Amino acid sequence: MSGGDPRVIAPGSTIGILGAGQLGRMTATAAAALGYRCHVYAPDEDMPAAHVSATATRARYDDLAALERFARAVDVVTFEFENVPFESVRLLAEHVPVRPGWEALRVSQDRVVEKDFVRGLGIGTADYSAVAGPAELARALDEFGGGGVLKSTRLGYDGKGQVRVGPGMDADEAWRRMGAEAGILEAFVDFDCEVSVIVARGPTGETAAYVPVLNRHRNHILDETVAPAPLPEATAADAETIARRIAEALGLIGLLAVEMFVTRDGRVLVNEIAPRPHNSGHWTIDACVTSQFEQFVRAVCGLPLGSPARLCDAVMTNLIGDDVAGWHDLLRDPAAKLHLYGKAEVRAGRKMGHVTRLRLPRPQ
Ligand code: AMP
């Protein structure tokens, strides 16, 4: 079925996924539609991806014995969660192809490494300074005119480990609030909007990108994605080129999401990257020829990439915490496609599902 290309993991094979949240769940569903089985691996008690996967292992990401058993049971390993230790990735790679490989994970695990990498490609970011303690932070704040955004270098997402520093907050207080051992101070970007591009890259170097989308956040969590982003053509082209260049420079096999700021003078600055499916790509399930999850499976398995073409414009809204209680009304809306993640417990700030509203052409 693979035509003899050793890079191809043919349908019928088992895809191992580290992480078992909603991204893994939607990946496993797309994989099943192409005839694959999935084996998910995560330490969590609640594993939404396990409900739709052939096999699930509950173990820590640094449990080398469990990882080895997992690696022997699958044909390829990928991730819905990038913060996996190097030793674990190395062990997995001894047994099975790991896609994306360590380079993409290494770069995206640390905000300083990530920004250095992006700048090294000649791509713009906010000004930044790595800070190892409150004294260094105080010096960096002086350089940045007294303000900025302090972030933990590692394990930050949805605004966790992030502090907006301005007048009235000193370095000690900001450092304490950030609550991590190493930080990065970024200059505050007075952006016009936030956009992201998701690009897939296969083992032959073939790439396919989705249109840039506009992202609006609420309490630091993605609230709404508008597809496509209402950008001038040249800005949209810049955003797409940036995403492709980063994917190529990482030698990525899989999916890369690149979050960017568009400044008021039209510059595109990279905020962060994630080497996996992304919340801002959920709209593609209902509004594109190939969803980001199917594309992820295709790229990781070395299949031809699918068309990322848009069937219609769409707006995706996350259902966070109690928002999910509105599921019944959402099902009554003919233009709304509801996706629920099957999470056992509703908690404030927790992503419980999403709804994509399609901008359908007028009914005939
Ligand atoms: P992040 O965790 O880096 O994705 O940041 C979460 C959100 O905080 C971003 O989507 C922005 O809305 C905001 N933010 C992060 N960094 C900056 C910055 N340097 N300047 C302005 N806003 C920022």
212 and 181 within one domain: no
pLDDT above 70 as % of the chain? 97
Successive 10-residue mean pLDDT values, the chain, 364 residues: 80 98 98 98 97 98 97 98 93 97 96 98 98 95 92 78 89 93 95 98 98 95 97 98 98 98 97 98 98 98 98 98 97 96 95 96 64
CATH code of 169's domain: 3.30.1490.20
Query: How far apart are the C-alpha atoms of 241 and 124, rounded to whole Å?
Result: 13
Query: How far apart are the C-alpha atoms of 167 and 133, rounded to whole Å?
Result: 19
Query: How far apart are the C-alpha atoms of 107 and 91, rounded to whole Å?
Result: 19
217 and 302 within one domain: yes
114 CB within 6 A, ligand 1: no
Summarised one tens digit per residue, pLDDT across range 191-244 is 999 999 999 999 999 999 999 999 999 988 999 999 999 999 999 999 999 999
- Domain count for the chain: 3
C-alpha 186 to ligand 1 mean position (Å): 9
149 CB within 6 A, ligand 1: yes
Pocket test for ligand 1, best of 271, 272, 279, 318 (most atoms within 8 A of CB): 271
Note the residue count of the chain: 364
Q: Tell if the pTM clears 0.85, that is, is over it.
A: yes
201 and 172 within one domain: no
Q: Please report where in the chains the tokens 């695990």 appear, as a residue.
A: 109
Angle between helices 64-73 and 86-95 (to 10 degrees): 30
Beta-carbon-side half-sphere exposure of residue 257 (alpha carbons within 13 Å)? 22
What's the domain range around 258? 191-359
269 and 315 within one domain: yes
Domain assignment present for residue 62? The answer is: yes
335 and 204 within one domain: yes
228 and 199 within one domain: yes
49 CB within 6 A, ligand 1: no
CATH code of 230's domain: 3.30.470.20
Please tell me the predicted confidence (pLDDT) of residue 157.
Answer: 62
Please tell me the predicted confidence (pLDDT) of residue 158.
Answer: 63
